Amino acid sequence: MSEEKLEFQAEVSRLLHLMVNAVYSDKEVFLRELISNASDACDKLRYRAITEPELIADEPEFRVVIGIDKEARTLSIADNGIGMDRADLISNLGTIARSGTSAFVDGLTGDSKKDVQLIGQFGVGFYSVFMIADKVDVVSRKAGDAQAWRWSSDGTGSFTIDEDSREHRGTTILMHLKPDAEQWLDAEHLKAAVKRYSDHIDLPIALTTDGNVEETVNAASALWTRPKSEVTEDQYTEFYRHAGHSFDEPWLTLHYKAEGKIEYSALLFVPTMRPFDLFDPARQHRVKLYVKRVFITDEAEGLIPPYLRFLRGVVDSQDLPLNISREMLQNTPLIANMRQALTRRVLTELKRKAEKVPEEYGTFWENFGAVLKEGLYEDSERRDDLLTLARFRSTASDGWVSLAEYVGRMKEGQSAIYYITGDNLESVKQSPQLEGFRARGVEVLLLTDPVDDFWLSSVHDYDEKPLKSATRGAADLSELKRDDDAEESADEAPVRDAEIATLIALLKQNLGELVKDVRSTDRLTDSPVCLVADDGDLDMRLERMLKAHQQTQQSSRRILELNPKHALIKGLCARAQESGAADDLADIAFLLLDQARIIEGEPVPDPAAFSRRMAAVMTKAV
């Protein structure tokens, strides 16, 4: 077969264009990416060789050799890992299979400073070599295959694939260095960087200069097996970046060895930055499972609960059999036991952070709180811990509030924890349903994550105080004193019940089945009307969301609430007593309902009718 030319996937082309032209200050990351890939390739083969030992019979020791050729101005990284065949090369080094990639690429702004940061979050892996090389050859021979293949590219639009030869299995990346990447030909410079990026991995990395004697550069022992006291902060950071292909710093590092009923070591990290695909449904945790220091899988289902999927790092079990298949993993109770133990440790550590560094914890919560809240309905055993860890926005302050703080400052006579859900803070703060709470100084939690509606349907109380929606059911605010004035002026006095009863009856008559009820409320102070859900019905936002996702066809009828202190309602009450009121109030009844819908973010079902009625009422007014 002769050389074939193939195009990069469009997203890859765009990323490469950025890579090649980026003024990325941290070009060195290419080295970390390539060393991580080489180490992953060895890990994968080591695992396969447990059941197919013949794959590594010719070269049983795994290693990586990094070579400098000053004359040719090339740098090479060769591993004897699993290798790639033709199809692997095309898909692994021509596309990015990660879900969410095209959305990510579309999100790039063209402003290279911002984009570089985004790229850091995304992680470009292998493609980062084009920051320092203007041509790259990858020669690879898959373990068990006789044929080797060469992939070549200058990083602009296309690559070529051709047959090649290689003495043993594995992959060699040959980089033809750019003129401004000279420093990589300097053995001392290279050595220092390699040491930094590989000291923590369990794989010897050797250096050869112009074909001269090899020397092993790194300590080659797995970081998590070392005692905590012997590991530096920098080593943890490097390991975190290696294991998670991350670019940021770890915010929390948890390193321990469990001994007793189950034995394992864990080295886990919580990132500082939110990964770009955190909310992608396909995203899994990034914790690698090892058994007695042999890598098994980075997709151990059930090892980490989905609501901790932002964790990265390594768990190394002493108890699992080495030859366990990935399929068997799912069914072993050992994994479930480890999951419970790991979860407990992580949550305890988070609690400690929340107490010790509340500011930092707030940032953590901003990044990952929405994910942790999934645990409130997924893991009932840990619910209390998670409720303690949860932070909320509220009407009382701009910062984060815990439920304990909320309960600590509840008003005299207040029996429930109130919340309101909405799409964003700004709009939810404007909700008319909050007016009465505000006037009485009653704090309301503002919940704006889509997940909130879900956990709220399974968590009913905290510290024996019921959680109550401010937009559902009757507001029992009459018991609570208003903050602003002890005595209400005549102006503010509500219309009497008997007077409003006639208005209510007329509105009901006009609106018929469109509303479940019409009633007077003390929930409002400034707005004339609002909609609320009946006690047993779905919260309005949840229903909207379920509809948008085709999860329900249902449209619950809502309750239209009237503010008996509002001038408009008072005027309408007076009008309702006069003869012929029923007809006159018809347009107004619909306008009140539509107005309440608009504030709520519900669609107006008949905009043409709305406009006609509005014009009619305004005509009368002018």
> Interface with ligand ADP by CB under 6 A: which residues?
33, 37-38, 41, 79, 81-84, 92, 123, 125-127, 171, 245
588-592-598-599 Cα dihedral, nearest 10 degrees: 150
CB of 31 to ligand ADP, least distance (A): 12
- Indicate the residue among 92 and 502 with the shorter CB distance to ligand ADP: 92
CB of 418 to ligand ADP, least distance (A): 45
CB of 224 to ligand ADP, least distance (A): 20
- Indicate the residue among 42 and 593 with the shorter CB distance to ligand ADP: 42
E strand or H helix at 598: helix 581-600
Give Dmax (Cα) for the chain: 107
- Indicate the residue among 18 and 451 with the shorter CB distance to ligand ADP: 18
- Indicate the residue among 127 and 590 with the shorter CB distance to ligand ADP: 127
Amino acid type, 587: D
CB of 539 to ligand ADP, least distance (A): 40
CB of 311 to ligand ADP, least distance (A): 17
Q: How many other C-beta atoms are found inside a 10 Å radius of the C-beta of residue 568?
A: 14
Task: Identify the burial level of 9 via C-beta atoms within 10 angstroms of its C-beta, where 0-12 means exposed, 13-18 middle and 19 or more buried.
Answer: middle
Q: How many other C-beta atoms are found inside a 10 Å radius of the C-beta of residue 210?
A: 12
- Indicate the residue among 67 and 123 with the shorter CB distance to ligand ADP: 123
Per-residue burial over 148-160, b if 16 or more Cβ lie within 10 Å, else e, is: bbbbbbebeeebe
CB of 89 to ligand ADP, least distance (A): 8
Q: Write phi, then psi, for 416 (nearest 5 degrees).
A: -125, 160
CA distances from 469 to 204, 372, 476, 559 (A): 59, 21, 12, 14
CB of 97 to ligand ADP, least distance (A): 8
Do the Cβ atoms of 30 and 131 come closer than 8 Å?
yes
CA–CA separation, 37 and 43 (whole Å): 10
- Indicate the residue among 33 and 238 with the shorter CB distance to ligand ADP: 33
CB of 339 to ligand ADP, least distance (A): 25
- Indicate the residue among 288 and 558 with the shorter CB distance to ligand ADP: 288
- Indicate the residue among 126 and 377 with the shorter CB distance to ligand ADP: 126
- DSSP E strands in 71-147: the ranges are 74-79, 133-141
Amino acid type, 3: E
- Residues 6 or more apart whose CB falls under 8 angstroms from that of 110 comprise none
385-388-394-396 Cα dihedral, nearest 10 degrees: 170
- Indicate the residue among 123 and 528 with the shorter CB distance to ligand ADP: 123
CB of 538 to ligand ADP, least distance (A): 41
State both tokens at 384. Answer: 């209390």
Residue nearest to ligand ADP (CB): 125
- Residues 6 or more apart whose CB falls under 8 angstroms from that of 254 comprise 266, 267, 268, 269, 313, 345, 346, 349
- Indicate the residue among 101 and 394 with the shorter CB distance to ligand ADP: 101
CA–CA separation, 109 and 455 (whole Å): 35
CB of 197 to ligand ADP, least distance (A): 14
CA–CA separation, 31 and 77 (whole Å): 9
